[in-house]
Structure 1
Amino acid sequence: MSTEDGPPNEQNPPQAPSPGTLLVDTSRRDQVGEFRGVAGPYWSLRPVCGGTEWEAKPANVRPPSPIERLRAEISRCNARSAGRIL
Structure 2
Amino acid sequence: MTVHDQPPLPAVGALMLDARRDRVGEVMDVICGRVLLRDPAGGREWEAFPCDLTPATASDALRARVADVNDQAARSRL
For normalisation by structure 2, the TM-score amounts to 0.70
Comparing both structures, which one devotes a greater share of its residues to strand? 2
For normalisation by structure 1, the TM-score amounts to 0.65
Q: 8 Å contact 1:49–1:75 — kept in the other structure?
A: no
Q: Which amino acid aligns with 2:14?
A: T
Which residues of structure 1 form unaligned runs of 5+?
1-8, 79-86
RMSD: 2.4
1:20 aligns to what SS in structure 2? coil
Q: Which has the higher contact order (CA 8 A, sep 6+)?
A: 2
2:61 aligns to what SS in structure 1? helix
- Note if 1:15 corresponds to 2:8: yes
Which residues of structure 2 form unaligned runs of 5+?
70-78
- Note if 1:52 corresponds to 2:44: yes
Sequence identity percentage = 35
Cα distance in structure 2, aligned partners of 1:62 and 1:15: 10
Q: Which has the higher Rg, Structure 1 or Structure 2?
A: 1
Q: Which amino acid aligns with 1:31?
A: R
Taking a change above 3 Å as real, the CA distance of residues 63 and 13 of structure 1, as seen in their structure-2 partners, is same
Cα distance in structure 2, aligned partners of 1:54 and 1:39: 12
Cα distance in structure 2, aligned partners of 1:65 and 1:20: 15
